Amino acid sequence: MQKKEQNNDIPRHVGIIMDGNGRWAVKRGMPRKAGYKYGADVFTKIARYAAKLGVEFLTVYTFSTENWSRPPEEVAAIMDLLRTFLRDAEKYRKDNMRLIVLGDPAPLASDIQKEIERIHRESSGNTGMTVNIALNYGGRDELVHAARALMSRFRDGMITDIDAVTADDFAACLYTAGQPDVDLIIRAGGEMRLSNFLLWQSAYAEYTFPQVLWPDFTPRHFDEALDAYARRDRRFGGV
Ligand code: IPE
Ligand code: IPE
Ligand code: MG
């Protein structure tokens, strides 16, 4: 702990790909869905830990636009868990965290959409860490959504000069509008890929791939990722 407080290199925005839940459960002879339950509890612990260390934005990948291709029973189990997680979001309010759901809510069940509206409304005044819950999130979907928003502004006359559109204008149409780019992406589970997570925001992100399935991820793994991050030389194209 004290080591972290002396560290000036705490990333402002951390992204987490909490992968490996299904494999973790199967390894223990349990149904895959049991892994999601454990994974969700681990997330709550890590979110509190990240807030304590001074992380300002934490984005967690909970369900991708591609995850609909899983068997219907698995999708239903994940949705049930997310439903409970969102209903329980009170606990984050108590921690003064602001909760934002990133992604297209349209295909989600209407009660989940209502929960999303509720937590946005009820946590919007909180001043602690922002927790972005990427749910039915896809990086490409987000980019298309932003492109559509800009095109409709053009159609409505709010944009008149197409050549004057900047990268900042584009970023302001993303689900993460107003937030800093992600500094560090931690992917548990052993795979070394982005799987359509934060495509725009990760342009200069650092990555760590802890060799642990997400339900086994502990604050120590988070510390290790932050230590690795602090040792990186971020040049942003400069020298
Ligand atoms: C990631 O865990 C969480 C979701 C996609 C909801 P997985 O379900 O992908 O777990 P593995 O990678 O199959 O073990
Ligand atoms: C990424 O994991 C999505 C989430 C963690 C929610 P996946 O398990 O869907 O990624 P792939 O299929 O291995 O690339
Ligand atoms: Mg996976």
Q: Which atom of ligand 1 is nearest to the CA of 64?
A: 5
Contacting residues for 29 by C-beta, under 8 A, at least 6 apart: none
Collapse the DSSP code of 87 into the 3-class scheme (helix H, G, I; strand E, B; otherwise coil) and give the result.
helix
How many C-beta atoms lie closer than 10 Å to residue 166's C-beta? Answer: 8
Q: In the predicted model, is pLDDT for residue 139 greater than 70?
A: yes
Which pLDDT belongs to residue 2? Answer: 43
Choosing from 7, 8, 9, 19, the catalytic residue is 19
Q: In the predicted model, is pLDDT for residue 5 greater than 70?
A: no
Which pLDDT belongs to residue 216? Answer: 98
Residue nearest ligand 2's atom 2 by CA: 19
Which pLDDT belongs to residue 8? Answer: 56
Collapse the DSSP code of 101 into the 3-class scheme (helix H, G, I; strand E, B; otherwise coil) and give the result.
strand
Q: In the predicted model, is pLDDT for residue 4 greater than 70?
A: no
Closest-approaching ligand to the CA atom of 213:
1
Tell me the pLDDT band of 193, cut-offs 50, 70 and 90.
very high
65-103 pLDDT, tens per residue?
999 999 999 999 999 999 999 998 777 777 999 999 999
Reported as half-sphere exposure (CB side, CA atoms, 13 A), residue 89 has a value of: 26
Choosing from 7, 9, 67, 104, the catalytic residue is 67
Average pLDDT over residues 205-220: 98
The pair of structure tokens assigned to 132 is 């972005």
Instruction: Kindly give the distance from the C-alpha atom of residue 166 to the centroid of ligand 3, in angstroms, as a whole number.
Output: 35
Which of 83-87, 138-142, 150-154 is predicted least confidently?
83-87
Tell me the pLDDT band of 140, cut-offs 50, 70 and 90.
very high
Instruction: Kindly give the distance from the C-alpha atom of residue 160 to the centroid of ligand 1, in angstroms, as a whole number.
Output: 44
Residue 11: exposed, middle, or buried by beta-carbon count in 10 A (0-12, 13-18, 19+)?
Answer: buried
Which pLDDT belongs to residue 184? Answer: 98
Residue 196 CB less than 6 A away from ligand 2: no
Residue 191 CB less than 6 A away from ligand 2: yes
Tell me the pLDDT band of 1, cut-offs 50, 70 and 90.
very low
Top mutation candidate among 17, 18, 19 for ligand 2, by most atoms within 8 Å of CB? 19
Closest-approaching ligand to the CA atom of 64:
2
126 is catalytic: no
Closest-approaching ligand to the CA atom of 21:
1
Instruction: Kindly give the distance from the C-alpha atom of residue 19 to the centroid of ligand 3, in angstroms, as a whole number.
Output: 5
Mean pLDDT over all residues of the chain? Answer: 94
- Which residue do the tokens 């209407």 mark? 110
Tell me the pLDDT band of 212, cut-offs 50, 70 and 90.
very high
Average pLDDT over residues 194-218: 98
The pair of structure tokens assigned to 230 is 């602090």
Top mutation candidate among 195, 197, 213 for ligand 2, by most atoms within 8 Å of CB? 195
As a whole number of angstroms, the distance between CA 63 and CA 110 comes to: 17
The pair of structure tokens assigned to 53 is 């260390």
First to last CA, the chain: 32
96 is catalytic: no
All domains of the chain in start order, with CATH: 13-139+181-231 (3.40.1180.10)
How many C-beta atoms lie closer than 10 Å to residue 124's C-beta? Answer: 10
Average pLDDT over residues 208-221: 98
Judge contact between 185 and 209, C-beta under 8 A. no
Residue 18 CB less than 6 A away from ligand 2: yes
